[in-house]
Amino acid sequence: MTLIELPKGFRGAGVAAQIKSSGAKDLALLVNDGPLDFGTAVFTTNKVVAAPVTWSKAVVKDNSVTAVVLNSGGANACTGPDGFYDTHSTAEYVGKALDHSSGDVVVCSTGLIGVRLPMDKIYAGIDLAVTALSTNSALNIAEAIMTTDSHPKIFNKSYESGVQLFGTAKGAGMLAPSLATMLSVIATDAVVDPAKATEIFESVVNRTFNRLDSDGCTSTNDTVLFMASGASGVMSSDEDLEAMMEECCNYLAGELVRDAEGHSKIVEIKVVNAFSESDAVAVGRSCARNNLLKCALHGEDPNWGRVLAAVGTAPAEFNPYKIDVALNGVWVCKASAPGEDRSLVDMTGKHIQILIDLNAGTESATVWTNDLTAMYVHENSSYSS
C-alpha cells in the first residue's frame, strides 16, 4: 500500500501510547505548518459535553488552529474539573513540544465516558508523536482514532486546481444527529477565506454528517475539525471548496454508516416533496429512530405501516392522508393506504431505500441509518465491562 501524503503544509503522526490495553495505536497529532493556520469546527449538540469539546470550542473561536491532538481509549467526558485540567494540560504539553500557543491546539478524545485519562501515557504518547511527525502519516492518524471501527476511514483527493483535501473520521456507535459519535479531521492546503470557509463547512457538515442517524444516540464528544494550511498557494473558489468538502464529508459519513456497530442493512431514507427541508429531515430522522421500523428492515419485512407510524410522529407539516411510500422502488403505499403488492418488494440486499413522498411541497432531504439487530444489542450491552 502506498503511503498517503498529507496535504502540503501538514505533518502528522499516529502512535501507540498504551492508552488502549490492546496496544493498538491510540494517539494522533496533526500539525499545520502554514502559511495559513485556519481552523474551524462543528461540535456535538449534546448539553453534556466532554472536557475536550469545552476546550476546543474556545480554541477555534478565533479560527486559528496550528495543531490537533486526538486520542482514543478514553472520552474524558463526565470527569469534572479534573478532566478539564487534563485536557488543558494536554494542549499545553503539545504547545510546549511544538513551540505553539496552547490556545491554538485542538484536543479530541473518544472512548468510554466517566473515566479519567492516564495522563502519563498521554504525555509519553505526545513525545512519541512529535518525534514521529511526517508528511505521509495519513493512515497512522486514521488508525489511531479508531474505537470499535473495523477499518481506518480516509478520504484523500488531489484536484486539478492543484489543491489536495484529506479527511479522516472514526465512529461506529452513538451515531446520531448533531454529529455521530465521531471525530473527524479534514485538512487542505488550499488558501481559504476564514469567514466564507467557516460558513461553507458548517453548511456541508449539516447536510452530510448531520444526516447520519444510525442509532439515535448523540455523543458527548463529537467534533468535526477543518484545517487549511494554504501551502498550495491556490485560492479555492467558494464553489470548488463546497464541492470538495461535500465530496469528502459525504464519503466519510457513508463510511460511518457502512461500518456501524452490529448492522446488517444500510438504509437510505429519502423524503421528497416536503414543505421545508427541515421538515424532510425531521421525517427522515423519525424513521431512522423508530426501533420497530428498524427491526422490520432487519427482518426484510416490507411492513410500510411502520413507516407511516414513524412519519406520523415527526414535527413536520403534511396531510396524513396523502403520503406515498416506496420500498426499494415499489410503491407499497399510495395516499396513506395500500398501493402495490408488498410481496413485490425485494429487501434481501444490503441496501434498502425508503422513499417517502409527503406531497406537501417541493423540498427534499436524505437521512441515512441502519437496521436494528441482535448483534447491535450484543455489542452494546457489554461495552464497558
Which residues contribute to the site for its own copies (CB under 8 A)? 45-49, 75, 77-83, 112-116, 173-174, 215-220, 289-293, 295-296, 298-299, 301, 303-306, 308-314, 318, 320-321, 323, 333, 335-338, 372-374, 376-378, 380-385
Residue 157 near residue 164 (C-beta atoms within 8 A): yes
Minimal distance in Å, beta carbon 7 to its own copies? Answer: 34
Q: How far is CA 291 from CA 144, 181, 256, 286, 381, in A?
A: 32, 19, 20, 10, 17
Longest dimension (CA), the chain: 68
Return the C-alpha cell found at 203: 453548511
Minimal distance in Å, beta carbon 65 to its own copies? Answer: 25
State whether residue 99 is helix, strand or coil: coil
Q: How far is CA 247 from CA 228, 289, 316, 353, in A?
A: 17, 26, 29, 21
Please report how the helices 238-258 and 194-207 are oriented relative to each other, as an axis angle in degrees rounded to 10: 30
Residue (144 or 333) nearer to its own copies, CB: 333
Rounded CA-CA distance 109/210 in Å is 20
Give, for 203, the enclosing helix (H) or strand (E): helix 194-207
Residue (65 or 75) nearer to its own copies, CB: 75
Minimal distance in Å, beta carbon 246 to its own copies? Answer: 27
Q: What separation, in Å, do the N-terminal and C-terminal C-alpha atoms of the chain show?
A: 36
Rounded CA-CA distance 351/353 in Å is 7
Q: What is the DSSP letter of 26?
A: -
Minimal distance in Å, beta carbon 298 to its own copies? Answer: 5
Residue (34 or 118) nearer to its own copies, CB: 118
Told to judge if 181 belongs to the known catalytic residues of this protein, a careful annotator would answer: yes
Residue (58 or 195) nearer to its own copies, CB: 58
Residue (50 or 106) nearer to its own copies, CB: 50
Residue (101 or 328) nearer to its own copies, CB: 328
Residue 282 near residue 269 (C-beta atoms within 8 A): no
Residue 129 near residue 25 (C-beta atoms within 8 A): no
Which residue of the set 181, 198, 369, 373 is catalytic?
181
Minimal distance in Å, beta carbon 222 to its own copies? Answer: 11
Rounded CA-CA distance 104/114 in Å is 26
Minimal distance in Å, beta carbon 317 to its own copies? Answer: 10
Enzyme catalytic residues = 181
